Structure 1
Amino acid sequence: MGFELSGILGLLVLILDIYAIVQILRARASTAAKAIWVIVILFLPLLGLLAWLLAGPASPRTVRL
C-alpha cells in the first residue's frame, strides 16, 4: 500500500507544481521574478511549491468604485 500512496502523492505534487508554474507565468511580475520562482519549483518541487503558496501568489486586489 505504501507504493501506491507515494505514487499518488508524487502525482499530486506534480499537478500542483504545474499549476503553480502556469500561475507564475500568467502573473504580472517581472521576468526575473518569474524565472526565479520557476527555477525554485523545478529544482525543489515540494519546498518550492510550499514557498510559492506562502509568499508567491498575490492576494486579489479590491476595486474601488
Structure 2
Amino acid sequence: MGIEVGGLLGLLILIADVWAVINVVQSGASTGAKVGWVVLILLLPVLGLLIWLIAGPRG
C-alpha cells in the first residue's frame, strides 16, 4: 500500500510543478527571472514549489 500512496503523492507534486512552471512562463517577469524560477522548481520540486508560491512572480 505504501507504493500507491508514494506514487500518488509524486504524481500530485509533478502536476503542481508543471502548473507552477506554466504560471512562471506566463508571468510578466524578466526572462532571466523566469529561467531562475523554472530551474529552482525543477531542481527542488517540493521546496522550489513552496518558495515559488510564497515569493514567485505574479501574473
Answer yes or no: same fold by TM over 0.5. Answer: yes
Does residue 1:53 correspond to 2:57, yes or no?
Answer: no
Unpaired runs of at least 5, structure 1: 61-65
Once residues 8 and 57 of structure 2 are traced to their aligned partners in structure 1, the CA distance between those partners, rounded to angstroms, is 25
**AA in 1 matched with 2:29:** A
Percent of residue pairs bearing the same amino acid type: 54
Partner of 1:63: none
- Normalized per residue, which structure has more helix? 2
Q: Which has the higher contact order (CA 8 A, sep 6+)?
A: 2
Query: How many residues were matched structurally?
Result: 59
Deviations, residues 3-41 of structure 1 (Å, cap 9, x unaligned): 100000000000000000000000000000000000001
Quote the residue 2:17 is aligned against. 17
CA–CA separation in structure 2 for the residues paired with 1:30 and 1:44 = 21
> What are the ranges of 5 or more consecutive residues in structure 2 without an aligned counterpart?
none
Write out the 4+ residue segments of structure 1 that deviate beyond 6 Å after TM superposition: none
**1:57 to partner: Cα distance:** 4.3
